[in-house]
Structure 1
Amino acid sequence: MKKHGILNSDIAKVLADLGHTDKVVIGDAGLPIPEGVKKIDLSLRLQEPAFQTILELLMEEMEVEKVFLAEEIKEQNPDQFERTMERMAGVDVAFVTHETFKEMTGDAKAIIRTGEATPYSNIILQSGVLF
């Protein structure tokens, strides 16, 4: 049995298989999942698990060089925006419209669905390299 890090075998496998610039999405309960993209559904009920819980875990486990957020999060969910930005020290942050964001999820290696039920609580994490 694994002792440390993410115990969810689906998430652990996706992270282990990532290459440079591959993308993983953390989505709220309402984010549509494009056909053909692996969905890892962690939602238990509304707000569980929270978006920030999963973001914290992935930021610990994954080398992230860039993230994408919907521009709308700034005004529509300022608390979530602020908490997310606190985790992004040293990471390039790009903003796109929510419609563009949803289109970008089509080439993700996986979308991790949370129980989050606040608007625009979604992020694309782009893998970096350790060297």
Structure 2
Amino acid sequence: MLKKIPQSLSPELVKVLMEMGHSDEIVIGDGNFPGASHADNLVRCDGLMIPELLESILELLPLDTYTECPVTLMEVVKGDSYKPEIWDTYKEILINSGEENTKIEQLERFAFYERSKKAYAIVTTSEKSLYANIILKKGVIS
């Protein structure tokens, strides 16, 4: 173990975060996300929920300030009345991590899948909330 590295981040995930460059994207997928079939670089975080993981990742990963929306959520499918309460949790985590001015966009489900295929890595979790998938675009440290 190391000091100041959140315990929820595995060595593999820390390595991926360090390898990523400016504007590379990482997907954090819920338990239903088809990560294995969409990823060239898959990191499994079985047993972890997205909020804990997102908090830990944002301790290390700067978000891209050169793009309008460095955070992307999977849009609720038209006609589905589900309200993703987890999105409020994500906003709170962004505020608490110092990213309070970060704009968040929503992307249609299949467009989200296509964009995920181009991500630097996909992280799969055991998150049970629906529409909990999130994409983060890495920024720079100045």
Common fold by TM > 0.5:
yes
The ranges of structure 1 where at least 4 consecutive aligned residues each deviate by more than 3 angstroms after the TM superposition are none
The TM-score with structure 1 as length reference comes to 0.86
Which has more strand, going by share of residues?
A: 1
**Unpaired stretches in structure 2, ≥5 consecutive residues:** 65-69, 95-99
Residues 1:71 and 2:75 aligned together: yes
1:36 to partner: Cα distance: 4.7
Aligned pair in 2 of structure 1 residues 14, 52: CA closer, same or farther (>3 Å)? same
Q: Deviations over 1:32-76 (max 9, x none)?
A: 1245521111113xxxx1111111111111001211101219x62
Q: Which residue number in structure 1 is paired with residue 3 of structure 2?
A: 3
Residues 1:119 and 2:118 aligned together: no
Aligned pair in 2 of structure 1 residues 8, 51: CA closer, same or farther (>3 Å)? same
Matches within 5 A, 1:51-66: 51-65=50-64, 66=70
Among 35, 40, 60, the residue aligned to 2:43: 40
The TM-score with structure 2 as length reference comes to 0.80
Aligned pair in 2 of structure 1 residues 130, 37: CA closer, same or farther (>3 Å)? same
Quote the Cα distance in structure 2 between the aligned partners of 1:92 and 1:123. Answer: 13
- Root-mean-square deviation over aligned CA pairs: 1.8
1:112 to partner: Cα distance: 1.1
Percent of residue pairs bearing the same amino acid type = 29
